[in-house]
Amino acid sequence: MANVTDSSLAGFILVGFSDRPRLEIVLFGVVLIFYLLTLFGNMTIILLSSLDPRLHTPMYFFLTNLSFLDLCYTTSSIPQMLYNLWGADKTISYLDCAIQLYFVLAFGGVECVLLAVMSYDRYAAICQPLHYSVIMSPRLCGQLASLAWLSGLGNSLVMSPQTLLLSRCGHGRVDHFLCEMPALISLACVDTLLIEAVAFALGILIILAPLMLILASYIFIARAVLRIKSAVGRQKAFNTCGSHLTVISLFYGTIIYVYLQPADSSSQDQGKFLSLFYTIITPCANPLIYTLRYEDVKEALKKVFGRENEPGGA
């Protein structure tokens, strides 16, 4: 099974959409714009959460973690993608591919668990409002955030070496624009049933188990919201949860399709576009979704930029 020598020296060729150069030019522009928007949006969320005392709450603590995660996730993959889309050189070294694979897997896993943690926070806020500050103590928030990060990093620590050590019999052309696990597994010239089974089992733990916790949390949340007599109160609860549900739908809708199926069960182009979606669209959309729905964020934006516009303001 292990035979790393066939690709360790030559590295890989990320084919991407090299057979359609005009499409690559368009994609370069689109990816660059979304990447810059992602950097700006998520850095803004982090900055606002640190500057405005009203945002020093468990919900914004986890949102800051999500924004930092999105910054890490996009930066681990998009610069290389832009380089390959821009010119004729589609190569990536074995080491760079290994690093990219590890972090893409790790940060994707972290986001799965972190979204579940955020749903638990919403459950505690809506279903246990009188005990919310006690339940979501700073210590528990730190522990839950650590659990999310360690789960994703640990999952990747298992799967990345197994994927890279598959014998490829000299094959180094990756029909993708990322060193992503399904694309690398499809290069193997040996039976991949075992590693796909391991990937599926870990996928259940990292992807489906958090999703089940999210669904369970929102079942209880929905029951609690429907018992609220005030229409204003119900609307506020739905607005708060709506942002989270939108992010979950965008993220899980694509990642489940890509990772929880056999490596060769869908067309390569379809897999590429789906990966492109959760690599550039979701991280860019997250801060926009939360900014539009959360009044606290809007007020923090007005407060920060209002101060900057005042004469003599910092």
Is position 84 within any domain?
yes
Beta bridge partners of 126: none
d(CA 73, CA 279): 8
Burial class (CB in 10 A: 0-12, 13-18, 19+), 95: exposed
d(CA 126, CA 121): 9
Sort strands 12-14 and 173-174 into parallel, antiparallel or unpaired.
Answer: parallel
Is position 314 within any domain?
no
Structure token pair of residue 31: 């990816």
What count of other Cβ atoms lies within 10 Å of the Cβ of residue 4? 15
Is position 125 within any domain?
yes
**How high is the pLDDT of residue 113?**
94
d(CA 37, CA 253): 22
What secondary structure letter does DSSP report for 55?
G
d(CA 238, CA 278): 25
Report, in angstroms and rounded to the nearest whole number, the Rg of the chain calculated over CA atoms.
21
Sort strands 173-174 and 91-92 into parallel, antiparallel or unpaired.
Answer: unpaired
What count of other Cβ atoms lies within 10 Å of the Cβ of residue 164? 20
**How high is the pLDDT of residue 116?**
93
Is position 289 within any domain?
yes
The CATH number linked to 22 is: 1.20.1070.10
Cα separation of the two ends of the chain? 61
Is position 313 within any domain?
no
d(CA 166, CA 182): 12
**How high is the pLDDT of residue 264?**
53
**How high is the pLDDT of residue 314?**
36
Q: Are 256 and 214 in contact (CB under 8 A)?
A: no
Q: CA 134 → CA 54, 130, 140, 238, 306, distances in Å? A: 18, 9, 10, 23, 34
Structure token pair of residue 47: 């900055």
Q: What is the CA angle 245-249-255, rounded to 5?
A: 140
Total of domains in the chain = 1
- Closest residue by Cα to residue 115 from 17, 250, 233: 250
In which domain, by residue range, is 301 found?
Answer: 5-308
Burial class (CB in 10 A: 0-12, 13-18, 19+), 276: buried
Q: Going residue by residue through the chain (314 aa), what tens digit of pLDDT does each one get?
A: 444 444 444 688 888 777 788 888 898 999 999 999 999 989 988 988 888 788 888 988 999 999 999 999 999 989 988 988 887 888 888 899 999 999 999 998 999 999 999 999 989 988 888 899 999 999 999 999 999 999 999 999 999 998 888 888 877 888 888 888 888 888 888 888 888 888 888 888 888 899 999 999 989 988 888 887 777 777 777 766 777 787 888 788 777 766 666 555 445 566 677 777 778 888 888 887 776 566 666 677 677 666 544 444 43
Structure token pair of residue 156: 């990747």
**Locate tokens 């624009």: which residue?**
177
**How high is the pLDDT of residue 263?**
52
